[in-house]
Amino acid sequence: AQKITQTQPGMFVQEKEAVTLDCTYDTSDQSYGLFWYKQPSSGEMIFLIYQGSYDEQNATEGRYSLNFQKARKSANLVISASQLGDSAMYFCAMQGQGGSEKLVFGKGTKLTVNP
């Protein structure tokens, strides 16, 4: 079974600073994908970034980067130069690649960006 753990229920950051949101995972699959989604108060789920288990480079998408440490089974999201609009819930998710397409989500971290 796959499991995602996000240990930070809430995080605060000052505008323009960087913040790291933690995510650890557990799986017996050799091949898997890791995702981060943002959920504003409107409720939509916005895809941010993806990391494949065999990708050697850490994924980056604009101000988002994923700090992937396979041996430690961690996939932390780093947001640089935080903006007020970054305030939202952030979910880490995993998808096994052994057959099921199901995304397994962590409990999420609520990020608040202060001016």
Partner 1 sequence: SAVISQKPSRDICQRGTSLTIQCQVDSQVTMMFWYRQQPGQSLTLIATANQGSEATYESGFVIDKFPISRPNLTFSTLTVSNMSPEDSSIYLCSVERDRQETQYFGPGTRLLVL
Q: Which letter does DSSP use for residue 3 in this model?
A: E
Stretch of residues binding partner 1 (CB under 8 A), selected from 18-26, 56-64, 76-84, 101-109: 101-109
- Measured CA to CA in angstroms, residue 81 lies from 4, 13, 43, 54, 73 at distances of 26, 10, 24, 28, 26
Taking the complex as a whole, the smallest distance from the CB of residue 104 to partner 1 amounts, in Å, to: 8
Tell me which residues in 78-97 interact with partner 1 (CB under 8 A): 91, 93, 95, 97
| CB neighbours of residue 59 within 10 Å | 20
The residue count for binding partner 1 (CB under 8 A) is: 21
Taking the complex as a whole, the smallest distance from the CB of residue 23 to partner 1 amounts, in Å, to: 12
Considering the rule CB under 8 A, would residue 33 count as an interface residue with partner 1?
yes
52 vs 33: CA distance, rounded Å: 5
Considering the rule CB under 8 A, would residue 45 count as an interface residue with partner 1?
yes
Considering the rule CB under 8 A, would residue 36 count as an interface residue with partner 1?
no
Residues making contact with partner 1 (CB under 8 A): 33, 35, 37, 42-47, 50, 91, 93, 95, 97, 101-103, 105-108
